[in-house]
Every structure is written in structure tokens, then in C-alpha cells.
């Protein structure tokens, strides 16, 4: 039995990409889920290169960064909830650490599932059919999109703090911040529920052997709904936040250049003003890393929409998989490195970390 679809690469593609690829795989009988065009001379990338990138990124790099990032996010969360660190910005960073941690747990699990499927195809197929509808089609996408929304919220909050410092405490207070965080988690979780309902598992007899596999549900067979739904989600939860982040970060960078020397002179070089500037730079770095890691996935998705052969079952499926591996890895990196950024840019975070862990 060969794999149904590489469900470990859900995050780097749009919902419409995902549903189309899985639907195509489901229509292929169990035991025959192969892509004969993998060895086609029309392929821009050979199957050998595709397999090598899968080993490097999925089997090695993604699990390593998932473990490293999970530890970092747990440490970040512990520091950010400390009584000395309680403010509106750190509340968003704590919520971001939670969503990043959940994303990395999904990434590690699906790397494990990929390896398990290769070692034991029958059991791996069963485990995939049981877990994919919730963990793959729904959970991993939700956590990634929550991270997107929280990162956008961070940038907007810092933009307000930079351009309207006198109004920032009112506009970005703890109550407002808490409300926004809760709404982001709830709305995102609710909006993506149809993704959890699209697939279900069922038993099927193939060659006198009963296997548990996955198929589309009754709702999932409504292809028009999922095509429109997937594209709308891709625009609202991916493309628009990216455009907002680019614009906001350009404005923040310009403001930093104009106000750095002014604030320092007004505060006579006070440490409070210096720390605020460092926090602004830290949040700017978080946003820039996010953009660098997310943009390739957005481009990957757009090309898939424009050029239909660039898909899991198209004539350029190999290069599609290669870039899928790379963009998924980049999203894993994005969720893994925030702890390092905090330690490098925030003196208060670093000092609190040393106080808590005595190092």
C-alpha cells in the first residue's frame, strides 16, 4: 500500500490546493496510489532529487527544528508569563508561543508519520486515515493561520506605539489585547471547521484484505463550495496579512530611523527609551523573519493556482514536492527561532530568563 498523499505538507499550501490534491489521491484505488509521471522526461526535477530533498528536509531538518523550537517556545512562554513581563505586547508574544508550539508539534508528528509510513505502510496508512482529517486538514492549518494573525497583530500594535505613543496605552491595553487574542483563536478555529469535516475514514476490502483508508465525506464532495471556500481563506488568512505586514513594517522601519535619535535626546539617553527601541526592533525582526519564511509558501500556492501542471498530480509534480518540502521547512523555522530573537534583542527578557532558570 502506497501513501495516500503527503499530508505533512499542509501548511505551505492553500486550503484549495490541499483539498484538490487529496481528492485526486482518494480517487485512485488503494494499493495503486502511485504517480507514474514521477519518472517522466517532462519533469524539471528528477525523482531522485525529490526523494533526497524529502529525506533532508522532512526526515532531518524539520524534526530537528521542531524539537529545538518546541523547547524554545516552552522557555519563552515561561518567561513571558512571569509577573515582571506582564504587558500587552508580551501577552501577544505568549499567545504566539502557544500557536508556534502547536504548529511544531504537528510538524514533528507528520515527519514521524512519514517515516512510519515508509517502515510500515499498512499501519502508516491506518494512522494517517485516522489522524489526517483533524490533525492534518484542520489542526495544522489552524495553528499556522493563528500564527499569521498574531504576527500581524504584533506589527499593528507596534505601529500604534511608534506613531501614536500617547494613545497606545488606551488602544493597545491589556483588555483590548486579551479580547483580540481570544477572538483570533476562536474565529480561526471556527472558520476552518469545514476542513475537519471534508474527510473521513472507512474500511475497504482490497485483494481480500480489509484496510482502513480515507475518503471525502458527503460535505467534502461539494467541490464548488470547497473551491470558493479555500480560495477565500487563502486570501483572507494569508495574502492580506502578508500585504499588511509588508506595509506596516516599512512604516515602522521609517519611524525608527526618524525617532531613534529624537527619543534618545528627549530622554537623555535613558534606559527606558533604549529598551523600547530594542523592543520595536525585536518585533520588527519577528515580522521580517515571518515574511521571509512565509512568502515562498504564498508564491508556491499562487503558482499552483495559475499553472495547473504545478501540482501533486501534474506533470511538474516533482518540483512541486521539492518546493513544498522547502516552504514547509521555512514555516517550521519561523515557528522555531523567536526565542533566539527575544534573547538577542530584549534585555528584560534575557534578564528574566536568567533569573528564572538561574543561569
Find the CATH number of the domain harbouring 47: 1.20.1070.10
User: Residue 332 has which C-alpha cell?
Assistant: 517550521
What is the secondary structure of 323-351 as a DSSP string? HHHHHHHHHHHHHHSHHHHHHHH-HHHHH
Q: What is the CA radius of gyration of the chain?
A: 22
Which structural domain, as residue segments, surrounds residue 98? Answer: 7-357
Asked, for residue 2, whether it belongs to a domain, the answer is no
Q: How far apart are CA 229 and CA 227, in angstroms?
A: 6
Asked, for residue 160, whether it belongs to a domain, the answer is yes
CA 105 to chain centre: 11
Asked, for residue 82, whether it belongs to a domain, the answer is yes
Question: Is 161 strand, coil or helix?
Answer: helix
Count of structural domains within the chain = 1
Asked, for residue 221, whether it belongs to a domain, the answer is yes
Name the pTM for this structure.
0.85
Asked, for residue 129, whether it belongs to a domain, the answer is yes
Asked, for residue 16, whether it belongs to a domain, the answer is yes
Q: How far apart are CA 145 and CA 102, in angstroms?
A: 12
Tens-of-pLDDT digits for all 359 residues of the chain?
333 333 333 334 344 444 444 444 444 444 444 454 656 667 787 788 888 999 999 999 999 999 999 999 999 999 999 988 889 999 999 999 999 999 999 999 989 988 888 888 888 888 888 888 888 889 989 999 999 999 999 999 999 988 888 887 778 888 999 999 999 999 999 999 999 888 888 888 777 777 787 888 888 888 899 889 988 998 999 999 999 999 999 998 888 777 666 655 555 555 556 667 788 889 999 999 999 999 998 898 888 878 878 877 777 888 888 999 999 999 999 999 999 999 999 989 999 999 998 76
Asked, for residue 1, whether it belongs to a domain, the answer is no
Amino acid at each position: 500500500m502506497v501513501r495516500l498523499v503527503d499530508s505533512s505538507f499542509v501548511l505551505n499550501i492553500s486550503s484549495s490546493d490541499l483539498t484538490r490534491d487529496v481528492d485526486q489521491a482518494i480517487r485512485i484505488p488503494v494499493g495503486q496510489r502511485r504517480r507514474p509521471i514521477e519518472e517522466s522526461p517532462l519533469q524539471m526535477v528528477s525523482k531522485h532529487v525529490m526523494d533526497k530533498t524529502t529525506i533532508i528536509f522532512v526526515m532531518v531538518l524539520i524534526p530537528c527544528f521542531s524539537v529545538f523550537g518546541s523547547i524554545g517556545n516552552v522557555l519563552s512562554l515561561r518567561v513571558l508569563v512571569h509577573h515582571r513581563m506582564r504587558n500587552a505586547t508580551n501577552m501577544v508574544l505568549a499567545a504566539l508561543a502557544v500557536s508556534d508550539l502547536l504548529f511544531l508539534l504537528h510538524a514533528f508528528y507528520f515527519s514521524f508519520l512519514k517515516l512510519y509510513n515508509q517502515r510500515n505502510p499498512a499501519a502508516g496508512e491506518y494512522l494517517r486515515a485516522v489522524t489526517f482529517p483533524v490533525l492534518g486538514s484542520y489542526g495544522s492549518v489552524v495553528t499556522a493561520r493563528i500564527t499569521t494573525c498574531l504576527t500581524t497583530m504584533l506589527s499593528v500594535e507596534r505601529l500604534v506605539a511608534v506613531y501614536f505613543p500617547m494613545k497606545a496605552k488606551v488602544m493597545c491595553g491589556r483588555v483590548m489585547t486579551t479580547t483580540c487574542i481570544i477572538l483570533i483563536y476562536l474565529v480561526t478555529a471556527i472558520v476552518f471547521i469545514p476542513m475537519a469535516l471534508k474527510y473521513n475514514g472507512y474500511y475497504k476490502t482490497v485483494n481480500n484484505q480489509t484496510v482502513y483508508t480515507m475518503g471525502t465525506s458527503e460535505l467534502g464532495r461539494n467541490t464548488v463550495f470547497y473551491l470558493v471556500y479555500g480560495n477565500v481563506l487563502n486570501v483572507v488568512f494569508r495574502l492580506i496579512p502578508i500585504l499588511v505586514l509588508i506595509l506596516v513594517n516599512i512604516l515602522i522601519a521609517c519611524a525608527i530611523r526618524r525617532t531613534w535619535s529624537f527619543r534618545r535626546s528627549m530622554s537623555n539617553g535613558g534606559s527606558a527609551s533604549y529598551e523600547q527601541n530594542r523592543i520595536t526592533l525585536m518585533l520588527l525582526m519577528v515580522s521580517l523573519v515571518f515574511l521571509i519564511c512565509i512568502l515562498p509558501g504564498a508564491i508556491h500556492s499562487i503558482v499552483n493556482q495559475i499553472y495547473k501542471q504545478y501540482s501533486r498530480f501534474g506533470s511538474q509534480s516533482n518540483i512541486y514536492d521539492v518546493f513544498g518540502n522547502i516552504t514547509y521547512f521555512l514555516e517550521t523555522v519561523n515557528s522555531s527561532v523567536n526565542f533566539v530573537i527575544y534573547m538577542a534583542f530584549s534585555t528584560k527578557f534575557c534578564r528574566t530568563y536568567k533569573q528564572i532558570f538561574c543561569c
